[in-house]
């Protein structure tokens, strides 16, 4: 059965995404930067969400090579998510050559129990994504989010299929980046993946251009419940087919 995960980075987005039919919500801040660790207040709102919530653990934008201080920050954030009763976390760490930092991931993973874990798109930078999948399996991750090492999942469809076939159900491959109601069916059919990740954000008119002028607003996109529904309907049509 196809499953859908929606990423959100604010309270209104969390409310819009908390609907029947979703497999998970990925809770973040700063989606415009690829998603960072959400703040305490948003995490507390997510505690009452009927949909399982996985929190992003990423202390800053940029690369995934983290210092000892940043690791300590991530460990504290993991403790917050665990103590708040969230279902899981989304992790990733790498060396400068983009291979996974297995020792750091082992330490972070050990701190997560009993939460579930997903590996984020750090895998899309890995020189050997299949070796990265083997490592994720050995570390006990249940799912890997990937765009097939391309700028979006449609462009990376061939690699996503290869990763899906290589995984052989040992770990779930979830397609993300650029997934929309109009392309999700073709993407799943071409790749074989049965899990997709999307933001379903829609641009809205900025109410006050001074917010941009003074640097108070970087984006005017909001989570669209209507687009989430359209994505769910498209995926359900594939299941019936």
Q: What is the pLDDT of residues 94-139, one digit of tens each?
A: 999 999 999 999 999 999 999 999 999 999 999 999 999 999 999 9
For residues 14 and 200, the answer to whether their CB atoms sit within 8 Å is no
Q: What is the pLDDT of residues 136-162, one digit of tens each?
A: 999 999 999 999 999 999 999 999 999
Per-residue pLDDT at 1 exceeds 90: no
For residues 135 and 109, the answer to whether their CB atoms sit within 8 Å is no
Which two tokens mark 19?
A: 């609907």
Per-residue pLDDT at 241 exceeds 60: no
Specify the pairing of strand 201-203 against strand 221-223: antiparallel
Q: At what angle do helices 129-139 and 157-167 cross, to 10 degrees?
A: 40
What is the Cα–Cα distance from 178 to 153, expressed in whole angstroms?
6
What secondary structure letter does DSSP report for 165? H
Average pLDDT over residues 7-29: 95
Q: What is the pLDDT of residues 53-62, one digit of tens each?
A: 999 999 999 9
Q: What is the pLDDT confidence band of residue 217, given thresholds at 50, 70 and 90?
A: low
pLDDT of residue 183: 97
Which of the pair, 204 or 192, is modelled with greater confidence? Answer: 192
pLDDT of residue 216: 63
Q: At what angle do helices 129-139 and 102-112 cross, to 10 degrees?
A: 30
Q: Name which of 84-88, 133-137, 168-172, 234-238 the model is least confident about.
A: 234-238
pLDDT of residue 227: 95
What is the Cα–Cα distance from 195 to 143, expressed in whole angstroms?
9
Q: What is the pLDDT of residues 165-188, one digit of tens each?
A: 999 999 999 999 999 999 999 999
Stated length of the chain: 241
What secondary structure letter does DSSP report for 38? P
Per-residue pLDDT at 237 exceeds 60: yes
pLDDT of residue 20: 86
pLDDT of residue 238: 75
pLDDT cut 70: percent of the chain above it: 94
pLDDT of residue 215: 66
Average pLDDT over residues 19-26: 93
Q: What average pLDDT does the chain have?
A: 94
């Amino acid at each position: 059965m196809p499953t859908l995960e929606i990423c959100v980075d604010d309270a209104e987005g969390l409310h819009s995404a908390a609907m029947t039919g979703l497999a998970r919500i990925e809770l973040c801040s700063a989606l415009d930067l690829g998603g960072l660790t959400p703040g305490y207040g948003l995490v507390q709102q997510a505690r009452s969400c009927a949909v399982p919530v996985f929190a992003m653990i990423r202390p800053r934008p940029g690369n995934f090579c983290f210092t000892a201080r940043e690791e300590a920050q991530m460990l504290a954030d993991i403790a917050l998510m665990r103590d708040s009763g969230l279902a899981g976390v989304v992790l990733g760490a790498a060396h400068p050559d983009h291979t996974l930092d297995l020792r750091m991931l082992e330490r972070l993973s050990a701190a997560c129990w009993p939460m579930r874990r997903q590996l984020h798109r750090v895998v899309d930078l890995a020189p050997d994504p299949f070796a990265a999948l083997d490592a994720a399996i050995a570390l006990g991750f249940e799912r890997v989010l990937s765009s097939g090492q391309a700028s979006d999942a449609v462009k990376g469809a061939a690699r996503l299929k290869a990763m899906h076939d290589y995984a052989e159900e040992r770990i779930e491959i979830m397609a993300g980046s650029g997934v929309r109601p109009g392309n999700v069916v073709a993407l799943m059919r071409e790749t074989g993946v049965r899990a997709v990740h999307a933001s379903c954000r829609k641009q809205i008119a900025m109410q006050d251009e001074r917010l941009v002028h003074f640097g108070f607003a970087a984006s005017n996109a909001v989570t669209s419940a209507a687009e989430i529904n359209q994505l769910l309907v498209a995926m359900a049509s594939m299941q019936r087919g």
